Amino acid sequence: MANAKKTAVITGGAQGIGLCLVKEFLKAGYNVACADPDKEAGRELMSGLKAGKSLFYSACDVSSERSVEQFIEAAVKKFKDIDVLINNAGIGINKPITDLSLKEWNRVIGVNLTGTFLCAKYTAKYLEKTNGVIINTASTRAIMSEKNTEAYSATKGGIVALTHALAVSLGPGIRVNCISPGWIEVSDWKKKKDFKKPLHTEEDKSQHPAGRVGTPYDIAKLALFLASEDAGFITGQNYVVDGGMTKKMIYV
C-alpha cells in the first residue's frame, strides 16, 4: 500500500477511466487532486466517494495555462507535495476532415496534447522533489485508426512522443510513462444521467484474444504499478492495454 502522505494529481477524473483511477489511488492510500471541467460529474464524484480530506476536486480546464497553474497551486496548498501526475483528460471530435473546423481541431489538440504538456510543466518542480512519476494516457489510436479520427489520433500519437521526450528531459528525478488503452468500456462509469449498463456481443468479445472488452480497472491497476517503486527502472515506455486487439488480424 502506498504511503498515505503521497499525492496523485489526476485529470479527467470525474468519469470513465479517470474516475476509476481516482477510486483506486484513494483505495491505495493516496491523497488525490482531481481535475475535471464537468461540474455535475465533479459534484457526484465528491458526494459519492466520501473521501473526506483525502480528495480535492477542481473544475480545471487543462487547455488553459492559467487554469492549470491555479489547480496545481491549490493542490499543493492542500496536500503539500505531488508524487504522481496522471494526464488522463481527453476529448474527441470525430468528423470527416473536410468537415472538421480548425476550431474543433485546436480544441482537441488543446485538451489532449497541450493539457498534458501544461500539467507536466507545472508539476515538474514538485515531482522533482519527490522523485515522482508522470503517467500519460494515450490510446491505441496512436498506432491504428478508424475513419474520421484525425484530431484525436494525432493527439494520442503526440502524447506517446511527448512521453519519451519528457522521460529524457526530466530523468532521472522523474519517471515518465504512457498507457495506451484499447476498447475500455466506460458507459457504466459515467455521471448518473449518462450511465448505461454495458452490453457486449460475442463478436465484440471475440475481437480480443483476451476474450473480453476491457474495464477501467485494467488501466488503473497498471497505473498503480507504474507509480510504485516496483517500476523504478521503467521510464519512457508506452504500454498498450487492449486485450491483444491490435495484434489480431480481423477479416470480414
Catalytic residue IDs: 152
Specify which residues 20 forms β-bridges with. Answer: none
- 123 with 9: CB under 8 angstroms? yes
How far apart (Å, rounded) are the C-alpha atoms in residues 90 and 137? 8
Instruction: Give residues with Cβ within 8 angstroms of 56, minimum separation 6.
Output: 31, 32, 33, 34, 74, 75, 78, 79
Cell of 216: 477501467
Closest by CA to 229, choosing from 86, 84, 18, 54, is 84
How far apart (Å, rounded) are the C-alpha atoms in residues 183 and 3? 32
How far apart (Å, rounded) are the C-alpha atoms in residues 20 and 17? 5
Residues composing the chain: 252
